[in-house]
Structure 1
Amino acid sequence: MTIPMRYLIRAAASIAAIALLTGCWDRIEVNDIAIILGAGIDQEENNKVKLSVEIYLPAPDNNESGGGQEGMDSGSKNGNILVSSAIGSSMADAMSKLQKRLSRRLYWGHNNVYVFGKERAERGFNDDLDFFLRYVRARERTNIYVTQGKAIDTMGVIPRLDQNLMEALTELSKTEVSIDVDLKTVMEQIVETPEQTYTVPYILTSAVMSEKKHLRNANVPYFRGLTIFKKGRMIGSLDNELTHGYFWITNQIKASTILTAAVAKDETVAVNLTASKSKLIPKIDSSGEWRMELIIECEGNLIQNASRMDYSVPEQLTEIEDLFEAMIKKNVDKSLNVIQQKYKSDILGYSRLFRRKYPKQWAAAKPEWSETFLRIKTDTSVNFQIRRPGALVKQINNIPME
């Protein structure tokens, strides 16, 4: 059977067309995009929002700064980093205005951080998260922070040890003073907790510190604890001391944390935490009382003994360990009191634990969970063991002379 020539011509044309479609026909050049490394969101007058982005510009000779254009803040530039802003009635509107003033297309694929100004956080930023999840399709591991002042001011900080602020915040989250709270964690808490309760790291720069005793390097961000969210709004915060208590309760205290306990006047001992484990056990007794048992077990190495205590004497070693146990319990009890009595916010995960163990009782208490959480008594026990004394066993002033 002979195939008609017209079919052969059509087949050849189709093969040629397919061949022309191969390769990076839809590629976007790096010089055509503005790579966003971080975003800041601030509350403005008349219920408007300011979107600020930290942009990496691959071309060092790019002079686009957006300065002098109506509605944009004056850009702040350090080498190939540009911070630019736009104000709108919503996040979508602000994003649209910002895009119109930049010749490059905004690219969110490398965004690592969202920083919310305190005023915006107190208003509530669920609408902003909705935009980022729908339009931007943000990565679930993008970290979220709240800053004491304006997000735009925090983003303008140029750290000395890191390439940009967003990288500095990411590295700081790995230290013992803070934790990572990403978009995935926040969305899980919004969905799973009865009253949308969760925490977000609280940051500031030395520029907003007014006390002279706190003068620090203005080009470095600092953590000042955690912010507390309830029903989508920031309702308060925990300072660094209370945050450590929160970490003990929620099993988030980090190894390498240094603890110092007072033995007597002008006498202290310090340990370096090497291991820690906290366990929460929910209980409802026969009388219907809701209780929580908190068991904390931790170990540490002695790193300084500025006291007359002798590590080599078992009784005195026990006394040192008792000091740290009492100190940790006091810190935990203080944090519990503030979280329960002042903020009435279950950021500790009590609802999740009771729901798993007592589903029927929890379902009945769910509509008024704040009041139930307020009445839960927590029984705390701490077991602290010092494993190593360091290079010296005895206190240096008590070492006998040869």
Structure 2
Amino acid sequence: MLTGCWDAVEINDLSLVQGVGIDFVEDEKFPLQVTLGLMTPLSSAAESQSSSPFEVTTVKETGDSIATAIQKARINTGNELFWGNNDSLIISGAVAEKGILGIIDYFARFPEAVLRQKVFLTSKRAEDLLNISSSHGKKVPDLLQSFTRLEPGLASNLLELLGMINDVGETALIPYIDLFEANDKDIVLSFSGIGVLKKGALKAVIPQKQHDELLWLRGELNSSVVYIPNPQKEKEGFSLHVYSVESTLKPEIKNGQWIMTVEIINHAEFYQNETYLKTISYQEKETFQTMARNEMQKRFAELIQYAQQDIKLDIFQYAEEFYNHYPKEFKNVEDQWEDVFQNMDIRVEQKWIIERTGLMNETSFPPERGE
């Protein structure tokens, strides 16, 4: 007796989920709206007239929970939903401010969900991001897949987000993305900041310009490109490609003072020199390294002040480091960790090694008059 594929589903009866958007709607009974970006196989006749064998559509439904809204959307499509291709979960900022723990719990428990799907926040409606075609000729779910491959740094997937939420500091970071109109016709997807969540609720948004400094102080930066202005001469500066970063976090408790020392060794090369200094000179290279160290020290201090005094949140996840090194002491202050973090002495020790000058050793700038 041959059973065959008794539970098989024909591909024409499937809709492939490419992205999920979560929004609020003005409905007291069904306040949550779920928008699904779907790819549905075309019929043979329709496929012959199209350049793609799939039709990209969106389906939206409301419900009193994520589970009920998605179930209603599945019935609305008339097809079985295949979640194996889903690569993006987009949550509006309004939803995140109320809390996303229930949303994350659903996708973590849902047996068909993909834990590698990327999680994003947006100040727009998530529905709009899934509806609008980009200037690249792709729907936003497809563009997000390219975006997460090209954009370095924080691109939390669902599994990583679960880890951050369950860390002792209960602070999670999620990339903020938005759509911007480049001109009358083109719409561009852009990384606009980093959402900071405490116990699952959005509390602050770190500006995009501090993205690399944040990763540096978390010990997670791999590479970067930085512009260093010359403090001695206006409109002069140089750009460095930091191609290797060695970071070490050293927590310490001394005489009741909680201290975090961040040791950073940056290996860099010149990308651009808009100064009159020569990159090949040993003495002037020391000057370049000193300027880079001083400028980045200032930027680190600004971010530390922002975290400790303005938003008062441990965005660097130092709680986990202290818990691992001083578990007993951390347990005694766990409930007052925010106060401990605000008074923590955060020290940044940098070493810059500029090893490469690029293809040209000399400066393109002519010598200053009088030299």
Q: Is the structural similarity TM-score above 0.5? A: yes
Per-residue Cα deviation, 1:91-135 (whole angstroms, up to 9, x for no partner): 122112212222112222221110001101111111112222233
**Mapping of 1:343-382 within 5 angstroms?**
343-382=311-350
Alignment-derived partner of residue 117 in structure 1: 92
Are 1:260 and 2:224 matched, yes or no? no
Report the secondary structure of 2:110's partner residue: helix
Q: Conserved in 1, the CA contact under 8 Å of 2:37 and 2:56? A: yes
Query: Shift of residue 61 of structure 1?
Result: 7.0
Are 1:275 and 2:250 matched, yes or no? no
Q: Conserved in 2, the CA contact under 8 Å of 1:173 and 1:179? A: no
Q: Conserved in 2, the CA contact under 8 Å of 1:37 and 1:112? A: yes
Provide the identity percentage.
21
Query: Shift of residue 236 of structure 1?
Result: 0.9
Q: TM-score if structure 1 supplies the norm length?
A: 0.83
Matches of 2:243 and 2:305, distance apart in 1: 27
The aligned amino acid for 2:17 is I
Question: More deviation in 125-134 or 170-179?
Answer: 170-179
Matches of 2:216 and 2:313, distance apart in 1: 17
Q: Conserved in 2, the CA contact under 8 Å of 1:197 and 1:231? A: yes
Q: Conserved in 2, the CA contact under 8 Å of 1:177 and 1:225? A: no
Per-residue Cα deviation, 1:35-89 (whole angstroms, up to 9, x for no partner): 10110000122371000010011216799xxxxxxxxxxxxxx972101211111
Query: Shift of residue 370 of structure 1?
Result: 0.9
Are 1:25 and 2:6 matched, yes or no? yes
Are 1:179 and 2:154 matched, yes or no? yes
The aligned amino acid for 2:240 is V
Alignment-derived partner of residue 133 in structure 2: 158
The aligned amino acid for 2:38 is I
Are 1:201 and 2:168 matched, yes or no? no
Q: Conserved in 2, the CA contact under 8 Å of 1:241 and 1:331? A: no
Rg: which structure is higher? 1
Alignment-derived partner of residue 49 in structure 2: none
Q: Conserved in 1, the CA contact under 8 Å of 2:153 and 2:215? A: no
Report the secondary structure of 2:215's partner residue: helix
Query: Shift of residue 289 of structure 1?
Result: 0.6
CA distance change for structure 1 residues 241 and 87 in 2, over 3 Å: closer, same or farther?
Answer: same
Matches of 1:62 and 1:139, distance apart in 2: 33
Alignment-derived partner of residue 54 in structure 1: 37
CA distance change for structure 1 residues 382 and 202 in 2, over 3 Å: closer, same or farther?
Answer: same
Report the secondary structure of 1:319's partner residue: helix
Matches of 2:235 and 2:291, distance apart in 1: 15
Matches of 1:397 and 1:125, distance apart in 2: 53
Matches of 1:60 and 1:225, distance apart in 2: 42
Q: Conserved in 1, the CA contact under 8 Å of 2:37 and 2:59? A: yes
Query: Shift of residue 324 of structure 1?
Result: 1.2
Report the secondary structure of 2:187's partner residue: coil
Matches of 1:254 and 1:219, distance apart in 2: 30
**Mapping of 1:77-116 within 5 angstroms?**
80-116=55-91
Matches of 1:25 and 1:373, distance apart in 2: 58
The aligned amino acid for 2:23 is D
The aligned amino acid for 1:114 is L
Q: Conserved in 1, the CA contact under 8 Å of 2:219 and 2:249? A: no
CA distance change for structure 1 residues 100 and 62 in 2, over 3 Å: closer, same or farther?
Answer: farther
Query: Shift of residue 347 of structure 1?
Result: 2.6
Q: Conserved in 2, the CA contact under 8 Å of 1:157 and 1:220? A: no
Alignment-derived partner of residue 229 in structure 1: 197
Query: Shift of residue 176 of structure 1?
Result: 5.0
Report the secondary structure of 1:396's partner residue: coil
CA distance change for structure 1 residues 44 and 50 in 2, over 3 Å: closer, same or farther?
Answer: same
Query: Shift of residue 157 of structure 1?
Result: 2.7
Alignment-derived partner of residue 306 in structure 2: 338
CA distance change for structure 1 residues 347 and 62 in 2, over 3 Å: closer, same or farther?
Answer: farther
Q: CA RMSD in A?
A: 2.3
Matches of 1:81 and 1:93, distance apart in 2: 23
The aligned amino acid for 2:262 is L
Matches of 2:89 and 2:274, distance apart in 1: 43
- How many pairs are equivalent? 358
The aligned amino acid for 1:108 is W
Per-residue Cα deviation, 1:206-238 (whole angstroms, up to 9, x for no partner): 04xxxxxx7697432100120000011001100
Matches of 1:396 and 1:143, distance apart in 2: 44
Query: Shift of residue 139 of structure 1?
Result: 1.9
Q: TM-score if structure 2 supplies the norm length?
A: 0.90
The aligned amino acid for 1:48 is P
Structure 2 segments unaligned to the other structure (5+ residues): 47-52
Matches of 1:288 and 1:249, distance apart in 2: 23
Matches of 2:185 and 2:344, distance apart in 1: 43
Query: Shift of residue 177 of structure 1?
Result: 5.2
